[in-house]
Amino acid sequence: MFKRMLKKPNYDNEHKYKNELCKQSHVVEISISDRDFYRHGWELSKTDIVSFGRHFEHNAKWLMRSVVSTYISFGIPINISIVKFQTRFHMEEEYWPFDAIKQDFFRFKTNNDIDFNQFAFQHLEKLILVNISNAGAITRHTVKNYEKIIVQNQ
């Protein structure tokens, strides 16, 4: 993505952005090869800088929603799930506050209520049956019967 932005800069929305784009004081270093540096340079347009930032913001929010949803499916309360996410991924309170995460989660969460225990145990049982079948302890017919039963119960 970064290399594409160097090759074909986008100047469509340059007039919308101020000279100072960044409100944050953190710096991220991105390494490019010498070849890319000498061929395409190292500077992005304002439009590409904003697009680059939005790309990573979108990915961070998607990760947050996925992780918090998984914790909740394990039965962990929402407030503990968010704190676990912040701790695990080093999302400090001053950069991504608890309330902002909670608000974003409830605004965009998917309503995929997963019974994780049932899901995990079904896959675990199938894995065990397949391994036992491969070892020759049970027949493949038993595994197929198990799969039919699971499909009927869903």
Q: Is the pLDDT of residue 138 over 80?
A: no
Q: For the whole model, what pTM was predicted?
A: 0.60
Are 115 and 72 a contacting pair, CB within 8 Å? Answer: no
Residue 37 identity: F
- 61 burial level (CB within 10 Å; 0-12, 13-18, 19+): middle
CA–CA dist 21, 31 (Å, integer): 21
pLDDT tens digits for range 17-45: 766 666 666 677 778 788 877 777 777 77
Which residue do the tokens 């079948």 mark?
133
Q: How many CB atoms neighbour CB 127 within 10 A?
A: 10
